[in-house]
């Protein structure tokens, strides 16, 4: 029987995800060795201190490929101090592949500042367009690595195919300013047939790989939180 080749191979840089407990978080690591169903990882550290992961501590390993993100659940077997120090783990489930092109959306609460602009490249968070209108405030609906949806009350001057400068609040990103192309607009009707607000769908453009990865990581963290609360 054909056995699918593992993506978790020697020298791959990975992230160790601890879903709960005192060391909850994400830590950078590297695969040192793979042998007989066991994976040896470089010991994860945080602020210069070794992260204390107990035996049988459930973890998730995450590996970023060019077109997808790969994950697998593992459990800790032991720590190795002799020779090359490391953490020995074994798989506790099948490897999963998350296609990057199929960006997962999660709800986005909070406000988003937006304004209509002429096309500009602000991928490096450097603004060079002084012709933009004043910022208005919209309410977030959802977000993914590909774009976002928001609710706005004023659509004067914006249209499908137009461009927006967006400032996303509350995600703690290294750069919170993005270019977006409007790809959808839909009115929300009141009882009298008038529109009370508008749903605007925006696709990110000129976004750096770093910014997109930060958003994807925020989305994954939000998903984990929702699952732990039984809301997803």
Higher local confidence (pLDDT), 112 or 124: 112
Whether 39 and 92 have beta carbons less than 8 Å apart is answered as no
Assess whether pLDDT exceeds 60 at residue 96. Answer: yes
Report yes or no on 94 lying in a domain: yes
> How far from each other are the two terminal CA atoms of the chain, in whole angstroms?
35
Q: What's the gap between Cα 137 and its chain centre?
A: 24
Report yes or no on 7 lying in a domain: no
Residue reference for tokens 């304004």: 115
Look at residue 102 in the predicted model and tell me its pLDDT.
Answer: 60
Closest of 103, 118, 190, 117 to residue 149, by C-alpha? 103
The predicted-structure confidence for 48-86, as pLDDT tens digits, reads as follows 888 888 887 788 898 887 667 888 999 999 998 888 889
What is the domain count for the chain?
Answer: 2
Report yes or no on 218 lying in a domain: yes
Mean pLDDT across the stretch 13-33? 86
Quick one: 80 and 139 in the same domain?
Answer: no
End-of-domain residue from the set 50, 71, 99: 99
Assess whether pLDDT exceeds 60 at residue 14. Answer: yes
CATH number of the domain residue 85 falls in: 2.40.10.220
The predicted-structure confidence for 139-156, as pLDDT tens digits, reads as follows 999 999 889 999 998 888
The predicted-structure confidence for 198-230, as pLDDT tens digits, reads as follows 899 999 988 887 788 888 888 888 888 777 776
Mean pLDDT across the stretch 164-174? 87
Assess whether pLDDT exceeds 60 at residue 4. Answer: yes
Quick one: 217 and 164 in the same domain?
Answer: yes
Dihedral (CA of 99, 161, 135, 120) sign: positive
Mean pLDDT across the stretch 89-96? 90
Report yes or no on 135 lying in a domain: yes
Tell me the pLDDT of the chain averaged across its residues: 82
What residue numbers bound the domain in which 114 lies? Answer: 106-227
Mean pLDDT across the stretch 84-112? 83
Look at residue 128 in the predicted model and tell me its pLDDT.
Answer: 47
Report yes or no on 6 lying in a domain: no
């Amino acid at each position: 029987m054909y056995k699918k080749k593992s993506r978790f191979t020697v020298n791959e840089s990975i992230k160790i995800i601890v879903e709960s407990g005192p060391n909850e978080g994400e830590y950078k690591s590297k695969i040192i060795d793979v042998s007989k169903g066991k994976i040896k990882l470089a010991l994860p550290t945080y602020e210069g201190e070794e992260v204390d992961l107990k035996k049988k501590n459930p973890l998730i390993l995450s590996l970023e490929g060019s077109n997808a993100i790969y994950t697998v659940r593992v459990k800790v077997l032991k720590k190795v101090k002799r020779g090359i120090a490391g953490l020995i783990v074994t798989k506790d489930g099948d490897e999963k592949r998350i296609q990057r092109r199929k960006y997962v959306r999660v709800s986005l609460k909070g406000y988003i500042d937006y304004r209509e602009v002429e096309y500009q490249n602000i991928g490096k968070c450097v603004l060079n367009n002084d012709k933009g209108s004043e910022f208005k405030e919209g309410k977030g609906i959802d977000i993914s690595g590909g774009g976002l949806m928001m609710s706005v009350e004023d659509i004067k001057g914006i249209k499908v195919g137009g461009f927006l400068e967006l400032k996303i609040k509350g995600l703690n990103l290294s750069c919170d300013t993005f270019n977006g192309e409007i790809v959808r607009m839909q009115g929300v009707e009141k009882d009298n047939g008038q529109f009370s607000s508008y749903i605007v769908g925006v696709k990110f453009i000129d976004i750096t790989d770093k910014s997109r990865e930060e958003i994807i990581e925020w989305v994954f963290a939000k998903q984990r939180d929702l699952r732990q609360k039984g809301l997803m």
